[in-house]
Structure formats: C-alpha cells, structure tokens
A and B are shown apart, each in its own frame.
Chain A
C-alpha cells in the first residue's frame, strides 16, 4: 500500500510540474513546445539529460550486474561514459549553433539540410524503430515493478495503463519544458536515493572496507577480470561493452533535443560535461551495492539477481525508505520513457509530417506531436501487454542501431566531401548488420566478442563496417545540389572554433 501511495505521488507530482509549464504559457507556439524556447538553464539541462538516458537498467540492472559479475561491471556505465563530455560537445556544437540560427526543432533537421529529405526520413524511422523496444522494455519494467512493489495490489496489466497514462498526459501538456522539469526532478530524486541506499548497505556490514573484505573472502572472482577461463571481463568483452554504450549515447534524440533547448553555451557545455561525471559516481554506487548484496542476500541466480537492488533495500532500510529507494529506479524508467517518446513524437511531426505537408501550421504541428505522444505510448502498451514478449532482449540492439548514424552526423558537420548516398548506405548497412547479428546469434552476438568477427562484438563490427561504407560510398559518388548548397552554412568560417 505504501509503495502504491509513493508511486501515485511521483506520477501526480510529475503531472503537476507539467501543468506548471503548461499554465505558464510555455507550450503556446511550436518553438516553445518542441525546444522549450531555447530557455533551459544548466541545472535543469544537466539532470534532464542524465535522467532521460539513465533507465531502470542503470539502477536495478547495474546492481544485478555487480552481484553476478563483480567490479568488471564498472566498464558498462561509469568511467566509460566520461568521454561523452568532449564527444557530445564535438558532435553537437554545430547542432546547437546551427539549430539556433535555423530554428531546428528535431533531430532530422541537420540530416535533412545536409543530405536531403530521404536521409532525414530514414533517420527518423531508424530512431523510431530502435527506440520502441527500448521504451517497451521500460514500460514492461514499470509494470513488473508496480506489481512487485504493491504486492499485487496493482497488477502488471493495470500498471501498463496506470503509469503510461500519466506519462502521456504530462508529455502532451508540458512539451519540452515540462518534460525537462520532470526529468530533472526525477533525476535528482533517484540520485539522492542511490546515495542513501549505498550508505545503509555499507553500514550493514561495518562500513565500506569491512564489507569489501568480506566479499573478497567469499567471492574473490568478483574482484577479478578475465575470470571463468578468460571468458568473463576479457579485454575484448570490456572494450566491446564500454565503447558500445558510449558511442550509442552520441546518436540518440536526447542530446539533440537538449542542445536545441539550451539557453546558453555555458549550459550546453555543463550538461555534456556533467553527464559522465555524475555517471562515474551515481552508477558506480548501485554496482557496488550489488557486489555488497552477495553478503546480504546470497545465492540469487540469473535474472533473480536483478532484484538485488530492492532486496537489499528491504533488508537494510525501514519499509518506507526502502519503498522510496526502489521508487528511484521507477522514476529512472519513467524519465527515459519521457525522453524517447517526446523525441520521437517531435521527429515524426516535424521531420516527416511537416516535410510531406509543408503548409502545416505551427499549432497543427503541436497538436500532431501530442497525438503522436499518445499513439507511441498506446503502441508500446499494446506490445508490452504480454510480459513474456522478449522486447528487453530486442532493446539490446537499440544502441547499436542508432550508433551507426554517427558517421552521417560527423560527415554532415566536419567532412565537406560527405554525400547523401554515403550517409544513406552506411545507415542502412549498419542497421541491417545489427539486425542480422541479432537474428543469427541473439543478444550474445551483439554484445559479446565473437571469434568469427575478429573478437569484436556485433555492435562494433556493424559500427566499423558502417563507417567504411560511409567513406567509400561518399568517395564513389559526387555531392548533389543539396550537399553543395549546405556547405556555405555547415562549414561557415565562424563555426571553426
């Protein structure tokens, strides 16, 4: 009952925050609705970007990883994300500058102006198709969490309606500003809860050093790399996972939407820099909580280990505080859904509908985006209806699929010789390879090193081939009128700093 009250409270507070954005008139025109009128300050930007990326996986999944696989899990979502501070700045500095000058609102805009409409539409569809399993996985997770936390009071299927309804409502109402405010509030909430849980878990066994000494005595492999005969946390496995998670983050809609929404250069830089720094701390903690969990709740196997976050919270905290700690993961899942659903609804409305029907008025565009928020949420609920639908598996390829657009984006901003043919071919080849690897060998082939791929995982193999196709395709074809025309703006001398 207590958990149901806390979760309903989080949903109601989120709707109220969105209502504030709506009532203050922050969604009156298209620019306000889609990019928050480029008015977000650095505090909101930092936590909004953070929360829109960190899903339930970063809390529950990372604790489960730590429990089963030990300290090597730190290569999945902590220090390996610190390079994003510079990578995002380098890749999205022009998104910010040109976006402000050209009043861009969606992630397809730079691709459309640089390579033409076909590339813009392909990009939007690729991002949508790869986002949906990821969003469905979050919604499934929310349903399971609700059922578990409320001890069946809210069933899985009622949960599927309950929370997505709130999410759709506040996204439709508050636009980018409302979504950013809610993300920021949820981001601060789950960050604080992780710190509190870490403190309680470590105190249970006499502090951090004493806890780690006991874990080392009982499970020495959790402190090693290359264990299980060199299979677990081998160098290729570490490199494949660490680079995949980092490179995948560059190309999702969230950095585009937040770059357009930034009020200042300072805010843009602070947002990009802080992400990796905060992950370095905030995601390290659940990983270590999971490792310490081997002492508190021993013997969990396989997917059962993913429950360790909630189990150690129950074992070490008062009931009300444990419910709040687990709700942190719930908030993380909600904020990821916010970011992806809003980003995709914006892309469809602005990049596809506005392109196919240029006479669409700004207010119609806002209406259409709201409609697409509702439609995407409804589609995700339908797909998630059967809890056994293996979308969590499928969402593994989301990062790999989106990451292959890296080269097209880089070429748009930094390579004059890049052509639409090269960009389209590299995207299609990269996406097809990710799907083929998944179909042929499941998530293991996408994530883990394969002897047949020179010890690369499927993600990296697709990424490298997509890059080669981009360069060869661009060299073998001539830039068309659209590419030639875009050079004046995309390579303007003032953008060289």
Chain B
C-alpha cells in the first residue's frame, strides 16, 4: 500500500518535472514571435522563463530534501551493509 502511494507520488513528480523541463527548454505557451509586453522591465516570456526555472528548482528541492522519495543519510549505512554483503558473497563465489 505504502509502495503504491510512493509510486503515485513519484509519477506525479515525474509528470510535473517533465512539463516544467520542456517549458525551460522551449517557450511553448508563453512566448510568441514579434513584439512582447514587459514584466519587471524584461520581456514577459523571459520573466516567465526565469519564474518557471525558480519553480522547478523549488519542486526539485522538495523532492530531494522533503519527500520520502529520495535518498537520505540515514539510509546510507543499511544500503552500504547490504551492498558490501553482496560483494563479499560474489567474491567468495568467484574464488570457489
């Protein structure tokens, strides 16, 4: 159940990430050729681009530091223990 919830959250994050990444790479929907209006003395599309970049940064921050989807330092030791156990077993298998 918990795993399903994580998968769902992961899917939502990935979807938002992909959409915002495309918007950071192309002005689809917020930039058109020719004359433009200004926001804070910048072209509106440039301001929106920087804003989208800032929003994506905050979302990534949330994913990496405040969600249960990313890796944390308290996970590191158990992971290392398991990996080292596997490496040891593989080495023994190779020697035999």
Contact = CB atoms under 8 A, between A and B. Distances in A.
Interface in B47-96: 49-50, 52-54, 56-57, 60-61, 63-65, 69-73, 75-76, 78-80, 82-84, 86-87, 90
A273 B57 contact: yes
A216 B57 contact: no
Contacts of A101: 80, 83-84, 87
A237 to B, nearest CB: 10
A280 B82 contact: no
A242 B73 contact: no
B43 A86 contact: no
A489 interface: yes
Contacts of A243: 25
Contacts of A284: 50
Interface in A226-244: 226-227, 230, 234-235, 238-239, 242-243
Contacts of B34: 224, 226
Interface in B12-30: 17, 20-21, 24-28
Contact of A488 (B17, B32, B90): B90
Interface size class of chain A, counting residues whose CB lies under 8 Å from the partner chain: 35 or more
A76 to B, nearest CB: 11
Interface stretch (A56-64, A187-195, A205-213): A205-213
A497 interface: yes
A238 B26 contact: yes
Nearest to A234: B33
Contacts of B36: 223-224
Contact of B31 (A78, A79, A212, A225): A225
A391 B85 CA distance: 48
A6 interface: no
Contacts of B21: 83
B41 A212 contact: yes
Given A78-B53, A86-B17, A208-B41, A102 B87 contact: yes
A281 B92 CA distance: 52
Contacts of B69: 497
A277 B84 contact: no
Given A223-B43, A277-B57, A85 B83 contact: no
Interface of A: 71, 74-75, 78-80, 82-83, 85-86, 89, 93, 97-98, 100-102, 208-209, 212-213, 216, 220, 223-227, 230, 234-235, 238-239, 242-243, 246, 264-266, 269, 272-273, 276-277, 280, 284, 485, 488-489, 492, 494-495, 497
8 contacts: A79-B53, A82-B24, A85-B56, A97-B71, A101-B87, A223-B46, A224-B34, A280-B57
